[in-house]
Amino acid sequence: MWHWLNALMFLFLIVTGLSMQYSSPDYPFIRFDLAVFLHNIAGIIVTLGYFVFVIGNMVTSNGNFYKVNLREIVGQLKKQFMYYTIGIFKHEDAPFPLSENRKFNPLQKVSYVFAMYAFTPIMIISGLGLLFPETIIPQVFGVSGIHLTDLVHIISGFILSVFMIIHIYFCTIGKTPTANFKSMFTGWH
């Protein structure tokens, strides 16, 4: 439920965010004030959901899947990369088959850690800053604090949008193209 609410709200954020960013005010894709309103609501839901995600990972064993062993991860990433670029086309076995103890392969793990523990909090904090602009430092080295916050927000939003596209593509490389999507509904892999 967390994941699908997050995914739906994220799509809302992307569409309303792009509309605010690129539409001409005379011919908006979504009326500007409506896009701002919907973007704010979706942003607040994603923020609340994020607390559920972080607290959920702290109090349940799901958090273990996000722990990275810094000594082993580089070698593991190389193996997984070779599998995705060469091995998979030769029908080799996956180097890190999924099990009850290993829900993510190393590439999934690292991309989820970056998305959820680095870029999402940056996006949320900068978004909250823009929602409450009175909290933003007016000037940083002569540059407007709001502009800088906006830049950080747009860059982190862009990176997370790219993450989402790659994420969805990689989710199709399961036993069958739809197997991983089904397991996100049924809970069974």
Closest CB 132 distance from ligand HEM, rounded Å:
23
Tokens of 7: 């995914």
Closest CB to ligand HEM among 137 and 168? 168
Closest CB to ligand HEM among 81 and 112? 112
Rounded to whole angstroms, the Cα distance separating 139 from 136 reads 9
| Position 184 contacts ligand HEM (CB under 6 A) | yes
Rounded to whole angstroms, the Cα distance separating 106 from 41 reads 34
| Position 47 contacts ligand HEM (CB under 6 A) | no
Task: Render the burial of 115-149: b for 16+ CB within 10 Å, e for the rest.
Answer: bbeebbebbbebbbbbeeeeebeeeeeeeeeeebb
- Which residue of 7, 41, 44, 110 would you call a contact of ligand HEM, by CB under 6 A? 7
| Position 181 contacts ligand HEM (CB under 6 A) | yes
Tokens of 180: 């991983």
CA torsion sign for 128, 130, 135, 136 is positive
Indicate the DSSP class of residue 144. Answer: E
Closest CB 35 distance from ligand HEM, rounded Å:
19
Within 8 A by CB and 6+ apart from 126, the residues are 149, 150, 152, 153, 156
| Position 137 contacts ligand HEM (CB under 6 A) | no
Q: Report 68-127 residues binding ligand HEM (CB under 6 A).
A: 108, 112, 115-116, 120
| Position 10 contacts ligand HEM (CB under 6 A) | yes
- Which residue of 3, 31, 78, 175 would you call a contact of ligand HEM, by CB under 6 A? 3
- Among the candidate windows 16-24, 31-39, 77-85, 164-172, which touches ligand HEM by CB under 6 A? 164-172
Q: Report 51-70 residues binding ligand HEM (CB under 6 A).
A: 62
Closest by CA to 78, choosing from 113, 98, 103, 106, is: 106
Where does this chain bind ligand HEM (CB under 6 A)? 3, 6-7, 10, 62, 108, 112, 115-116, 120, 160, 164, 167-168, 171, 180-181, 184
